[in-house]
Structure 1
Amino acid sequence: MQDFIRDATTSSFGEDVLAASRSVPVVVDFWAAWCAPCRALKPILEKLAREHRGEFILAKLDTDKEPEIAARFGIRGIPHVKAFVDGKVVAEFSGAVPESSVRSFLAGVLPAPAEKLRLKAKQAVREGEFETAEALLREAMKLDSARFTVRLDLVEVLIARQAYCEADLEMQAIPERERDERAGLLAARIGFWKNGESLAPAAELEAALAQSPGDLELRMRAAERHIADNDYDSALAHLLELVRADRGVLRERARKTMVEVFKLASDAELIARYRKLLSSTLY
């Protein structure tokens, strides 16, 4: 059996379907051996899977052997086909439909040329190949310049490469009305980098702060420098101290900045610890 046609089980579903669908669409055929319509649909699905040669994965799940997964996805009749992309169901149909209908179904699921490049870029990012990812995304933008999702992916890759100037230019090309939560977070990271460009190096600011620990403005600059350097632990420690020490405008500025850092940081334990400390300080 080719790698793009596989049997799915309860134990393998997470990897073979949900995780795999982050790189390529996965079409799951829910079937059973006793089901005559399932036997009619099976060769059509397998034929098209071979025809597309890896553009999608066909995962066959026997509902008699794997009732948990069938129940989890609300399968009440078979054959039932669900298409997964990025771990989520994006399309589905029931019954032994003709080949023309299956082809139409796949046309709505399989990625366009620009999306194929985007998926390859995501895989390159997972492998740490950021320059390759950047090249793929720039090629995808040539094919579909109106898709701001691709441009956001490029911004993310450029930030990962610390190419903030280029990331800023790409972000400016996305209209405010098209920006979602993800765009807001990326814009915030660029903003902190911009602010950090006007600040002294972290070591210099820390040395000055050791000489003048009561200088709250200096402590704020040190926190902002650490954010620009992605040193969120040091930044949050300074910001928390500002919330504790000040009772004016600087206190609120530090609190708001902590909330922004909570959104940017990926360390769940770090975030939980400082959220608790901030809450106990405020209340």
Structure 2
Amino acid sequence: MTDPTLGASLRGAVDLSTLRNRPAPAVTGEEAPSGADVAVPSLVLDVTDETFPQVLELSRTVPIVVDLWAEWCGPCKQLSPILEKVVIELSGRVVLAKVDVDANPQLSQAFRAQSIPMVVALVAGQPVPMFTGAVPEQQVREVFAQLLQLAAQNGVTGSVSVDGEAPEQEAAAEPPLPPLHAEAFEAIENGDYARAIAAYEKALAENPRDADARAGLGQVRLLDRVQGVDLHTARAAAAAAPQDVGAQLTVADLDLAGGHVDDAFRRLLDLFAQLPGDERTPVRERLLELFALVGDADPRVVSARGRLASLLF
């Protein structure tokens, strides 16, 4: 995870020039000045390769926070609700643009999304790196405060309204979480993954059919395993000991958390094929856990399951 701080000036870390030549933005008022108020459909926008130029233009009025995510990414599902909450609380001073990297390869390539979740800001049409990986809510708030300061220094001080609705109405539409889920979510925001795991395990003990608790438990276990692990050190250890189960499991976790799903599955399946039968169980169990995180319908899971079955039988 990168250090969640912003520089004092705009830093063009990625080239967005190929994404500019698209239709004009669909907002109220054309070429609104930085201090103007414009209307948007929502403070949280789903953005595609085709609609991104509209968001790029909107960043001349209000800072845009770009959340690069994927459906199979557990840490993304932990971070996105925090981003949405903070954006809505800022009442139109910031807009959140959500980009599904699987569905929008051009944007993924433009932002050099090697690992997700990845969060980048747009200010006056220029990209500003924010952070990569799951970040607790307090750190998210701190980075957003720095973003607003940076935007003001560059003359981007406008705001947006939501097509006649108060931003607070969007927040009210969210149903309350069950108590144990709320406890787990609060613990995740505070970086207390052990407490979050305990809350989800208790929820599952009370209701073994609680699919949300099961999914949340898998996601937070992954976060707990990769927290504080240095990628380069882990890769070096795995390269030095190709049949060290612990070392290979760690790198597979890091790969999946970073969005490299095929690499994670391939590493564990290759290891499974090399190990004697009595040492395979931890690898098989970790594969099944990662399959559940990505989703049974995902083609990468289907393919990996097929290879696992062939190795078993």
TM-score relative to the length of structure 1: 0.42
Greater share of residues in helix? 1
Higher relative contact order by CA 8 Å / sep ≥ 6: 1 or 2? 2
Rg comparison, structure with higher value: 1
